[in-house]
Structure 1
Amino acid sequence: MTQKSAARRRRVPPQEAGTGPTPPTIPAIPPADVLGRLAALQSAPIALLKQQWRELFGKEPPPFNRAYIQSRLAYRIQELAYGGLKRETRARLQALGEQLDGGNVVLRRIRADSRPLPGTRLLREYDGVEHVVTVRPDNFDYEGRPYRSLSAIARHITGTRWNGWTFFGLRKPGP
């Protein structure tokens, strides 16, 4: 029996069967080192944070801002030192999330506490005309038509692309 067929029979991932790249080794972090490492994140240059990301996650860092990378590194350091969530807990959280948003990825990206409550009326005056949008549990109502997003309504009103949350004053415009 070849090594590859033995790996298939035991359902071993190809990396362990010697047919693919070896996954990076993630270092263990002693609990006594956690506070010092967390404090060091605050003053570390971004290049060092990205290097730590590669070491602790075994992959390239995402193109996000410093605060995001710092917070994820802080969690990862504690996770490696004290242990992460049990597989059952992660599965339960995933099931609850899907139950909450029905598996809709768009809704998942919108924090539940930032979305206006159903029944809320959003008012916006544009070109001397007052526009009223009613928030529904799963969509938005404008002129008797359902829309999936506020951005689609803003585009309908203005004829140009807008962030709907910014257009209706729910979020401050970016820099």
Structure 2
Amino acid sequence: MAKLDPIPARLAALKDTTTVDLKRQWRELFDSAPPPYNRRYLESRLAYRIQELAYGGLKSESVSRLERLGDELDGGDRKKSRTRTDLMPIAGTRLIREWQGTEQVVTVTLNGFEWQGRPYKSISALARAITGTQWNGWVFFGLKNHRSRE
């Protein structure tokens, strides 16, 4: 008779585990203090670590390839690599915002944003150019709520 794999049940149990216990598991599995991130982050990293220890991690060739691909995407710029690409609008997207009675149209490009024919690397710099004041560009264009989402 084949023995059942306990890993799927252990992964499913993470959803019902208290945050205190998730942090305890983190200390055990990573041999370090848990980071100050949200519960969802802890769950996903713990799930990966549990599987990594049980089934093995990525091959060194895969890690090297991923690092090369990452460098190709962000040019080795660590700040760019921390930008969550899943939150970035797709290149070609048009962001439209009315500001002081004038419609402002911004195009998302592969390298940032374009407004009135000029390139901008950050959406906040662009919002500052439009308004003349300090703005969080994600909030200005309605891409992010100004209140944190818990």
The alignment's TM-score, normalised by the length of structure 2, stands at 0.81
Q: Which of the numbers 9, 12, 35 marks the counterpart of 1:62?
A: 35
Q: Does 1:130 align with 2:103?
A: yes
Mark the CA change 1:113 to 1:51 in structure 2 (over 3 Å): closer, same or farther.
Answer: closer
**Which structure 2 residues correspond to residues 36-47 of structure 1 after superposition, within 5 A?**
36-47=9-20
Report the structure number with the largest CA radius of gyration.
Answer: 1
CA-to-aligned-CA distance 1:142-165 (integer Å, 9 cap, x gap) = 233321110111133331331x22
CA distance in 1: counterparts of 2:12 and 2:119, whole angstroms: 49
Among all aligned residue pairs of Structure 1 and Structure 2, give the percentage whose two residues are the same amino acid.
54
CA distance in 2: counterparts of 1:81 and 1:118, whole angstroms: 39
| Cα RMSD, aligned residues only | 2.2
Secondary structure of residue in 2 paired with 1:61 = coil
CA distance in 2: counterparts of 1:114 and 1:47, whole angstroms: 29
Q: Which amino acid aligns with 1:82?
A: Y
Q: Which amino acid aligns with 1:96?
A: L
The alignment's TM-score, normalised by the length of structure 1, stands at 0.71
Offset, 1:42: 1.6
Q: Does 1:148 align with 2:121?
A: yes
Q: Which of the numbers 77, 82, 85 marks the counterpart of 2:50?
A: 77
Mark the CA change 1:67 to 1:117 in structure 2 (over 3 Å): closer, same or farther.
Answer: closer
Offset, 1:173: 4.4
Moved over 6 A (4+): none
Structure 1: which 5+ residue stretches go unaligned? 1-30
Offset, 1:112: 4.0
Across the two proteins, how many residue pairs are aligned to each other? 144
Q: Which amino acid aligns with 1:59?
A: S
Offset, 1:45: 1.0
Q: Which residue of 2 aligns with 1:16?
A: none
Offset, 1:98: 1.2
Q: Which of the numbers 51, 61, 66 marks the counterpart of 2:24?
A: 51
CA-to-aligned-CA distance 1:62-102 (integer Å, 9 cap, x gap) = 11111110111011111101111011111111111211232
Offset, 1:113: 5.0
Mark the CA change 1:106 to 1:79 in structure 2 (over 3 Å): closer, same or farther.
Answer: same
Structure 2: which 5+ residue stretches go unaligned? none
Offset, 1:169: 2.7
Offset, 1:119: 3.7
Q: Which moved more, 1:127-136 or 1:83-92?
A: 127-136
CA distance in 2: counterparts of 1:149 and 1:140, whole angstroms: 7
